């Protein structure tokens, strides 16, 4: 497929490496960036025929079949609207919008225009995540009770991230968007996020936005998600997730401890991995960053979905839900209260109650626990549905 790439910076280049290096069927034919020298450099590196500093000109070309948006957050909406105008399939990096209102406008516009829309949330396509979610979906962990995701690093690489107007927020928006979609996927994307409680502060950097935050997201079925995000963490890029259910647990570490450890005095120092803080001493390189961070599997899903005229796993609708959760987090950080997630658009399930998941033992009782003791007795502990009384039975 022929692609117009909007943005030739950090993520535009990761995407280009993944698209042209791996899937090979796809070709970037048009590149837009703010500065002419960046477009020319990108065009040389990726063998792109058309370069421009005019966004619409990059999109509105007969050979362009799909547009990949890799621009600062404040430019996503403008770019999406141009894709709608010219009826081009569109894929947008995270976060979809600076807030849910922007995200909703983009969602409504692509659906009205009837164009393919993909939300490029790479961290739900990492090999570890794909394996873990398969186990979760097969029921290996039972009902998911708690999902936690952490993304922390020493702060982003470009000026606009640090400007609250252009970025729309600090680390909650920049990194929390990943964590919310990871934990939401584990809990179930059809389960409604209902309330958020969040602490946020600007502990280190001289900026208007937050550089550190911790939040809890309550889901309608009683599950809880937790995000931990920071632009003040020292030591590289920490990407860790945990998920716990009634039958088991999974812990994954995507970056700093992947089983690849190296020591060098610094002789012939080289690039180690994203946000690595040192290139000497003990290092934790990442074998294949494009793959470990999910870019390859993400584009495989996006382009195959586009070819097969179906929806990808992550769409603008998902981006909108993430923005709505993060809006509630920002509100809670100010009010210091649980804040409701305002969802004008909700396409999942509704109506869970507190008792929806109690496990039946028999007609009269719920099961609390069963256990085989060290002296060989098998016991069940039960709760009577009517009286609430707790009893135990020793089985043969
Ligand atoms: N893992 C991920 O999914 C991931 C990682 C990093 C960034 N991102 C997202 O990608 C988008 C771009 O981030 P990046 O890290 O590539 O940024 P960057 O600063 O490295 O690149 C931004 C690109 O946009 C272009 N641009 C056009 N108009 C601009 C303007 N007015 N101001 C600044 N740049 C302008 C720049 O020329 C540059 O090519 C953001 O939405 C960010 O959140 C996603």
> Three-state SS across 350-395?
CCCCCCCCCCECCCCEEEEEEEECCCCCEEEEEEECCCCCEEEEEE
In a domain, 24, yes or no: yes
From the CA of 140, how far away is ligand 1's center (Å)?
38
Q: What is the number of the ligand 1 atom nearest to the C-alpha of 166?
A: 32
In angstroms, the CA 129 to CA 292 distance is: 10
Q: Total structural domains in the chain?
A: 3
In a domain, 232, yes or no: yes
Residues 336 and 244 in one domain: yes
Residues 108 and 201 in one domain: no
In a domain, 352, yes or no: no
Residues 321 and 212 in one domain: yes
Give yes or no for a contact between 226 and 241, defined as CB atoms under 8 angstroms apart.
no
In a domain, 303, yes or no: no
In a domain, 295, yes or no: no
Residues 193 and 286 in one domain: yes
In a domain, 302, yes or no: no
Which mutation among 4, 6, 7, 126 tests ligand 1's pocket best, with the greatest number of atoms within 8 A of CB?
Answer: 7
Q: What is the CATH number of the domain that holds 104?
A: 3.40.50.720
Global model pTM greater than 0.95? no
From the CA of 374, how far away is ligand 1's center (Å)?
59
Residues 138 and 195 in one domain: yes
Q: What is the mean pLDDT of each run of 10 residues along the chain (396 residues)?
A: 97 96 86 98 98 98 98 98 98 98 98 98 97 96 96 97 98 98 98 98 97 98 97 96 96 88 86 90 90 95 97 98 98 98 97 80 94 92 95 90
Instruction: Provide the pLDDT for residue 25.
Output: 84
In angstroms, the CA 11 to CA 13 distance is: 5
In a domain, 356, yes or no: no
Q: What is the DSSP letter of 100?
A: H
Identify which of 13, 39, 15 has the alpha carbon closest to the alpha carbon of residue 92. 15
Task: Look at ligand 1, atom 34, and give the residue with the nearest C-alpha.
Answer: 72
In angstroms, the CA 293 to CA 299 distance is: 12
Q: What is the CATH number of the domain that holds 229?
A: 3.30.360.10
Residues 87 and 203 in one domain: no
Q: Which domain holds residue 111?
A: 2-121
Residues 133 and 263 in one domain: yes
Q: What is the dihedral of CA 155, 161, 126, 45, to 10 degrees?
A: -100
Give yes or no for a contact between 367 and 359, defined as CB atoms under 8 angstroms apart.
yes
Residues 113 and 140 in one domain: no
Instruction: Provide the pLDDT for residue 210.
Output: 98
Residues 329 and 378 in one domain: no
Residues 182 and 135 in one domain: yes
Last residue of a domain, one of 64, 91, 121: 121
Residues 274 and 156 in one domain: yes
In a domain, 282, yes or no: yes
Q: Is 10 in the pocket of ligand 1 (CB under 6 A)?
A: yes
Q: Is 282 left (phi over 0), alpha (psi -120 to 50) or beta?
A: beta
Residues 220 and 317 in one domain: yes
| Residue 6, strand partner residues | 32, 69
Instruction: Provide the pLDDT for residue 23.
Output: 66
Q: Is 73 in the pocket of ligand 1 (CB under 6 A)?
A: yes
Residue 286 phi/psi, 5-degree rounding, is: -110, 125
């Amino acid at each position: 497929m022929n692609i117009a790439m909007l943005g030739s910076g950090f993520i535009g280049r990761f995407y280009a490496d993944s698209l042209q290096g791996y899937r090979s069927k796809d070709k970037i034919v048009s590149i837009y960036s703010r500065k002419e020298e960046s477009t020319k450099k990108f065009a040389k590196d990726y063998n792109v025929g058309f370069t421009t500093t005019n966004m619409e000109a990059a999109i509105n070309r007969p050979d362009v079949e799909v547009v990949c948006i890799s621009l600062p957050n404040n430019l996503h909406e403008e770019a999406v609207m141009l894709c709608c105008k010219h009826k081009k399939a569109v894929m947008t990096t995270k976060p979809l919008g600076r807030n849910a209102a922007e995200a909703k406008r983009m969602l409504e516009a692509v659906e009205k225009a009837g164009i393919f829309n993909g939300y490029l949330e790479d961290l739900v396509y990492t090999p570890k995540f794909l394996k873990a979610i398969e186990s979760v979906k097969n029921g290996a962990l039972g009902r998911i009770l708690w999902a936690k995701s952490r993304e922390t690093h020493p702060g982003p690489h470009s000026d606009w991230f640090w400007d609250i107007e252009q970025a729309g927020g600090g680390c909650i928006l920049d990194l929390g968007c990943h964590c919310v979609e990871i934990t939401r996927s584990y809990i179930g994307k059809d389960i409604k996020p209902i309330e958020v409680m969040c602490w946020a502060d600007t502990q280190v950097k001289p900026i208007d936005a937050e550089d550190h935050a911790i939040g809890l997201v309550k889901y309608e079925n009683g599950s809880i998600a937790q995000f931990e995000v920071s632009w003040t963490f020292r030591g590289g890029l920490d990407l860790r997730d945990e998920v716990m259910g009634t039958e088991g647990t999974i812990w994954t570490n995507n970056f700093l401890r992947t089983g690849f450890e190296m020591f060098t005095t610094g002789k012939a120092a080289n690039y180690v991995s994203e946000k690595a803080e040192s290139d000497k001493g003990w290092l934790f390189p990442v074998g294949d960053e494009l793959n470990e961070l999910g870019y390859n599997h993400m584009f495989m899903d996006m382009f195959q979905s586009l070819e097969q005229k179906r929806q990808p796993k992550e769409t603008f609708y998902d981006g909108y839900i993430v923005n709505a959760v993060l809006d509630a987090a920002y509100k809670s950080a100010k009010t210091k209260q649980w804040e409701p997630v305002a969802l004008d658009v909700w396409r999942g399930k509704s109506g869970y109650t507190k008792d929806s998941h109690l496990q039946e033992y028999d007609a009269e009782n719920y099961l609390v626990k069963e256990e085989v003791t060290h002296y060989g007795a098998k016991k069940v502990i039960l709760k009577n549905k009517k009286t609430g009384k707790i009893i135990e039975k020793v089985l043969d």
